């Protein structure tokens, strides 16, 4: 599936909550709980996303020209947020990640249920994913 298709699926999932703030937060937490467990060996300082108030670990690997992500956080809602990004970007090509336009956040009204600090952290996660994509793209060019 394309990045935009996945975003549209996320928008559709959130639309079922009909803007209910409490249900939305609980759903985001549930998404984090469903995420595959990140091996402890990957929870290193090198994999910590800088700029997040919570601890967020993000690891990327490449297979057959596509990038795969593993992530975790020490807080439930942040883990749910990073799970959305993993869902969108997992298995995508570096150039598709770099050229992506994330629109799902506005469409689901994410700014209503995550504060400024968490919003800054979310942007830091996106930045880290794009840095990984840039690194893998450069590696492929060699």
Task: Report, as residue numbers or ranges, the catalytic residues.
Answer: 52
What is the Cα–Cα distance from 38 to 137, expressed in whole angstroms?
A: 24
Closest by alpha carbon to 94, among 142, 48, 135? Answer: 135
Q: H or E segment at 25?
A: helix 21-34
Contact between 129 and 85 (Cβ < 8 Å): yes
């Amino acid at each position: 599936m394309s990045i935009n298709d996945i975003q549209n699926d996320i928008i559709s999932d959130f639309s079922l909550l009909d803007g209910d703030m409490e249900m939305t937060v609980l759903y985001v937490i549930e998404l984090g709980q469903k995420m595959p467990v990140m091996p402890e060996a990957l929870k290193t300082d090198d994999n910590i996303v800088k700029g997040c108030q919570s601890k967020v670990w993000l690891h990327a690997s490449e297979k057959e020209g596509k990038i795969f992500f593993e992530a975790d956080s020490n807080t439930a809602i942040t883990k749910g947020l990073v799970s959305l990004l993993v869902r969108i970007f997992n298995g995508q090509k570096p150039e598709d990640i770099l050229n992506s336009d994330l629109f799902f956040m506005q469409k689901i009204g994410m700014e209503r249920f995550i504060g400024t600090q968490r919003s800054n952290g979310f942007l830091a996660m996106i930045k880290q994913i794009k840095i990984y994509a840039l690194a893998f793209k450069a590696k492929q060019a060699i």
